[in-house]
Structure 1
Amino acid sequence: MAKILVIDDEANLRKVLAAMLRRDGFDVTVAADGEQGLAEFNKNGADIVVTDLVMPKAGGMEVLRAVNAANPDVPVIIITAHGTVDSAVEAIKAGAFDYVTKPFDQAELSAVIAKAAKAHDVAQRSVRADAKARAAIIGESAQLQEVFKIIDKVADTPSTVLINGESGTGKELIASALHGASSRRDKPFIKINCAAIPHNLLESELFGYERGAFTGAVTSKPGRFELADGGTLFLDEIGEIPVEMQVKLLRALQEGEFERVGGIKTTRVDVRLIAATNRDLQAEIEAGRFRKDLYYRLAVVPIVLPPLRERRTDIPMLAGHFVEKYNRKLNKKIESISDDAMALLQAYNWPGNIRELENLIERVLLFADGPSITAKDLPEPVRQGSGTPAPALSAAPLEASTGEGGLKDIVRMKAAELEKDLITKALEETGGNVTRAAKLLQISRKSLQTKMKEFGLRDTTPPDGRDESIDE
């Protein structure tokens, strides 16, 4: 049950809103002004904030800025009178989720609240993006370095970018990094998940609508293209857009202009578009579900984001990052991940990618007792290497690999094979530099030397302990 904080200086309106939202199944807290509302938010938090725009002590914009600074994943909905709609639009550009006008239609407000609750739920399960998006992309693998090179080259251009990758790989982080590294960084970064919008509402969400355009359109409202003017529009799950809408989207991209639903005035905008999908759009084109001309317009700069199973050397760094994050969030004091646990994490195939890894680390920290995460703390699918087999682990049939050992022996053997392969690749990537290879693998230099000796990757160690392959 989502917790909603309602902030309004009109007592009757607070009562009406609270009663309506509680009837819809939400946990509601109310505050009489912005100052009181922020005190409540800082003390007890909220999943959604609904605030009046004009209030004594602290107005809606101040509430918006404070909530966004504290937790950008919390949607803020602005309530405004007709005379201050322009200010509400400015609030949207500053990061507000949406706005409704007084006197509001209860059905309209309920729909906005439901959409905000869904967006908050998605954000809680997604890889987080923020203003320092580039720094938030964790990893040093060769695959990720190639993605960074593309970002550096195209971020400050108007060219459209199409990000393709499986769910949970961090496509929104890449979009945020592109926006943050561009000259548009101080302009709006507007995001919309095309899969979360009903097909019959998608046009009005993208292009806005005029008053009276359809039942319930009691006032005019700008769309996401309009709100993103001067900045960046990120269309996630672009493959979900129906074919009939794709024609209108193509025109908006090519001409930089559109009309609101029910309107005749042409609106021109300057928007840099970034799209993302987990679908094979070439296959969608062959099936007649995606327009070829739109695809070529979107894929001026294609970025393919590799799944986590193809960048296993990044797993120690990602896992360490999530341990630090959830130590703070859950008030835990986990100091490390044991070598055997890390080997299992790197052997697992991660069908849910980075999102699955983050959720797993949070769950493990909740129940871990000791100062270190060990193999026994990991869930059974990870301990047993469940999931679609990774190529590195499927070199021989099961019968040929079992021998007299049981399942645990097989897992231990496969984990050792993968560990040897990862060390070999790290040494290749660093030209045999043990110090840098140890840093890449997120283990100590001494541990790496021990592992190298164990796997026969180095015959001798110099008497003085120095690594003769290092050129420092």
Structure 2
Amino acid sequence: MSDVPHHRSRILVVDDDPDMLRLLSMRLGAAGYQVTAVGSAEAALAQLEIERPQLVLSDVRLPGRDGLALFAEVRSRHPSLPVILLTAHGTIPDAVEATARGVFGYLTKPYEAKELLDKIAQALALSTPAGPSRRADEAWRSDIVSRSNRMDDLLAEARMVAQSDASVLLRGDSGTGKEMLARAIHKASARAGKPFVAVNCGAIPEALLESELFGHVKGAFTDAVANHKGLFQAADGGTLLLDEIGDMPPALQVKLLRVLQERAVRPLGSSQSVPVDVRIVSATHRDLEVAMAEGQFREDLYYRLNVVTLTLPTLAERREDIPLLANHFLSKLAAKYGKRSSGFAPEALKALTMATWPGNVRQLYNVVEQVCALSTTPLVPLALVQRALRTPTMEVLSFAEARQRFERAYLVDLLKMTDGNVADAARLAQRNRTEFYRLLQKHALTPGLFKSDGSGAPEAGGDEAVADT
């Protein structure tokens, strides 16, 4: 026997002879490899869509597409994946030519078991190692499912950026995974042991955003009954993601710039600044250059945030990741819905791969959630995927989550309308004040922040210090 290490690398074995397939599987399994065995080139290519092995071992003579055609296809899809061909005497010239085109090597039948295992060990040693050391090395990006060259390049750049403390601006369409990349950068940085805090600047009402980011002190405005640490302080020592930074109101942009320059925050109503050590990652789907030209985004803030720019590709630009992502989401969601899943029917997977995906990875997740929730068979059929792709994909929320979101948005609108006057807001909602206060408490809403006279300044007669504007 060869001294091949038992490192559990996965090998895809392709042979149309069932006896030979069984023999190879037993031999490689005994040597410590994980083996996936298929009987044709077509089956091998379908398997590659689901899971990428570390090596392909294929007979040259196959029904339909032969081993050389399979090699050409593997080469175009996965240039770094090594392929070893098994040949009979008559096909040696073809195999030699294939070696010149990049096949790792070939073995002529009959071959010795040791010869085969040595050849496999050489191929695996020269290609990217896939053992535990690599997995540990990739823990920082473990949530990002990808095998496309485009994403590989982006992640390599992100990893380098993570080693510094430079501010990073993530660009990309909605749903491309900007928050996920920000988390990966945090995990790869020296700050990994400290908090990662994300805030969506476009989702929080303007009246609340300043208090959310910078905090407030007791008595800073009506209903400020206790000191409140802002998100900058919550992220101290770690990373703060300012998502949809392009939607930040101009008045707050000035205050954010001051925080970045002074590396300290001043909570609302306080005369004291609190030092903070935070790495800023910001994200936007807007064109900030256009926003600057239109006077909606400050140029000095833009240059402070945009030390390094990383641009996430759309899902259409990394189409080879679609089968991988779809199967990954399906296995996660099948567990959530308590369903047995054996994946997508090949034609269903093809339909997903060919779709346009204007909503990117988020839309793909929603489509997979929809088909998983509605599927009555372990194998997801084409018809269900087509149906999900035809209907505009909405985020699948539970009834309780949907009601919670509606309730909060309704209360925010009421408080805006009534200038933060609880009695008027309760009257409009046809609820008594006690019940209305309970609702505000449940959603952590502070009526005083909705007053239009200076956004959170104390009422007339108050002697508390007001925030510096």
TM-score, normalised to structure 1's length?
0.52
Q: 1:340 — aligned with what? A: 347
Correspondent of 1:249 among 250, 256, 271: 256
Determine the structure 1 residue equivalent to 2:170: 163
Cα distance between partner residues in 2 of 1:238 and 1:380: 35
Q: Is the 8 A contact 1:336 1:371 kept in 2?
A: yes
Alignment of 1:224-303 (within 5 A): 224-303=231-310
For 2:43, the equivalent position in structure 1 comes to none
Contact 2:214 2:266 in 1 (8 A): yes
What SS does the corresponding residue of 1:195 show, helix, strand or coil?
coil
- Which residue does 1:211 correspond to in 2? 218
Q: Which deviations, in whole Å up to 9, do the C-alpha atoms of 1:1-41 show, x marking residues without a partner?
A: xxxxxxxxxxxxxxxxxxxxxxxxxxxxxxxxxxxxxxxxx
Cα gap change, 1:258 to 1:365, in 2 (>3 Å): closer
Unaligned regions of 5+ residues in structure 2, if any?
1-137, 394-469
Q: Deviations over 1:252-308 (max 9, x none)?
A: 112202311111112211110111111111111111110111111111111111111
The one-letter amino acid of 2:368's match is I
Rounded to whole Å, the distance in 2 between the matches of 1:228 and 1:366 is: 36
* C-alpha distance in 2 between matches for 1:165 and 1:366: 29
Which amino acid counterpart does residue 192 of structure 1 have in structure 2? Answer: V
Map 1:82-231 → 2, pairs under 5 A: 134-231=141-238
Superposed, which structure 2 residues align to 1:5-84 within 5 Å?
none
Please tell me whether the aligned partners of residues 189 and 228 of structure 1 are also in contact (alpha carbons under 8 angstroms). Answer: yes
Q: For CA contacts below 8 A with separation 6 or more, give which structure has more relative contact order.
A: 2
Q: Percent identity?
A: 45
Q: Secondary structure at the match of 1:196?
A: coil
Q: Which residue of 1 aligns with 2:111?
A: none
Structure 1 residue aligned with 2:367? 360
- Matched residue SS, 1:276: strand
The offset of 1:232, in angstroms, is 0.9
Q: Distance in 1 between matches of 2:230 and 2:151?
A: 34
* Kept in 1: contact 2:367–2:388 (CA 8 A): no
1:317 corresponds to: 324
Paired amino acid for 1:182: S
The superposition leaves residues 340-379 of structure 1 with CA deviations (integer Å, 9 ceiling, x where unpaired) of 2122111111111111111111211222233322211213
Determine helix, strand or coil for the equivalent of 2:333: helix
Q: What is the SS of the residue equivalent to 2:202?
A: helix
User: 2:306, 2:351 → 1: CA distance?
Assistant: 37
- C-alpha deviation, 1:178, in angstroms: 0.8
Partner Cα separation in structure 2 for residue 239 and residue 383 of structure 1: 31
Judge conservation of contact 1:233–1:273 (CA < 8 Å) in 2.
yes
Separation in 2, partners of 1:223, 1:370: 48
Structure number with bigger Rg: 2
Deviation, structure 1 residue 381: 6.6
**Aligned-CA RMSD value:** 2.0
Distance 1:267 1:233, change over 3 A: same
User: 1: distance between equivalents of 2:390 and 2:218?
Assistant: 58
Q: Give the Cα separation in 2 of the matches to 1:294 and 1:152.
A: 24
3-state secondary structure, aligned to 2:169: strand
- The runs of at least 4 aligned residues of structure 1 exceeding 6 Å deviation read none
Q: Contact conserved, 1:206 with 1:225, CA < 8 A, in 2?
A: yes
1:133 Cα offset (Å): 5.8
Conserved 8 A contact 1:330-1:366: yes
